[in-house]
A = this chain, B = another copy of it.
Amino acid sequence: MKKSELVKEIKEKGTFLCVGLDTDIKKVPECVKGEEDPIFAFNKAIIDATAPYCVAYKPNLAFYESMGVKGWISFEKTIKYLNENYPKHFIIADAKRGDIGNTSMMYARTFFEEMNIDAVTVAPYMGEDSVTPFLQYDGKWVVLLALTSNKGSHDFQLTEDKDGERLFEKVLKRSQEWASDETMMYVVGATQGRMFEDVRKLVPNHFLLVPGIGAQGGSLEEVCKYGMTADCGLLVNSSRAIIYADSSERFAEVAAEEAKKVATQMAKILNDKQ
């Protein structure tokens, strides 16, 4: 999907919500556990219910891999279902991959050729040749980790070099030599608050994928105040707070209500911004 198409979707629907499909077999409601493929059944119900309120879905690979072959089958079925039924939704494989060139190329093949996924999250630690193999596909995206939402983000990402440049800033700068804002986005955690100002100084036009509202405690208002651009420039993710909002037979309905709540806030913010 091209950047202009994503922006168009956001403006038309008045939402920049990304629903995180972090589907844990230990957390899905009892009522889907009897299904042949409970993970896919759960995802399908969540997708159908939340699609009007979001523009993107982000399955985190860890949750599928933890179930081995079965999990991969559920993952592939979910991607296929999205592609067939919701082709305008942006799909992000949250995989946080990154390896030597030869190997990153294999990962890129998996996500972009085998499955028709729009974007993959990539870790920057191994540098340029671990990232560029993901950039060879037209209309596909790298979402590079910059400043993550977790406590450990402070361990290395904030390290200042001799000139006072922090590691996440170096990542934002260097990586712009590899790709433009048409094929690269960055992960910046909602929990980072005012740091969005610093991020925007370096990447004024890039889309940011923002995890950390909901269960992790980040604030949507703050993220938008400091991170929003004229093109919106944000995909704000919520996983647990939406998909596990209810564990009864009404789980999908309640997930839709939660997604709608966030989308309503988002519509207001987008409207105020204009």
Contacts and interface: CB of A to CB of B under 8 A. Distances in A.
A150 B131 CA distance: 12
Given A60-B99, A124-B125, 14 more contacts: A62-B97, A65-B106, A69-B72, A72-B72, A124-B155, A125-B157, A126-B153, A127-B152, A127-B153, A127-B157, A128-B152, A156-B174, A160-B161, A167-B167
A150 B125 CA distance: 11
Nearest to A24: B106
A106 B23 CA distance: 11
A115 B161 contact: no
A151 B128 contact: yes
Nearest to A177: B155
A170 B159 contact: yes
Interface string A53-93: 00000001011011111001100100000000000000000
Interface residues of A, number: 58
A152 B134 CA distance: 14
A125 B128 contact: no
A191 B254 CA distance: 54
A118 interface: no
Interface of A: 22, 24, 60, 62-63, 65-69, 72-73, 76, 94, 96-101, 103-104, 106-107, 109-110, 114-115, 123-131, 145, 148-157, 159-162, 167, 170-171, 174, 211, 216
Contacts of A150: 100-101, 126-127, 129-130
Contacts of A216: 100
A146 to B, nearest CB: 10
Contacts of A211: 100
28 contacts: A22-B103, A62-B106, A63-B106, A65-B106, A65-B107, A66-B106, A68-B110, A69-B72, A94-B99, A96-B126, A100-B150, A100-B216, A123-B123, A123-B126, A124-B125, A124-B156, A125-B148, A127-B151, A127-B153, A128-B152, A129-B150, A130-B152, A156-B170, A156-B171, A156-B174, A159-B159, A159-B170, A161-B161
B145 A115 contact: no
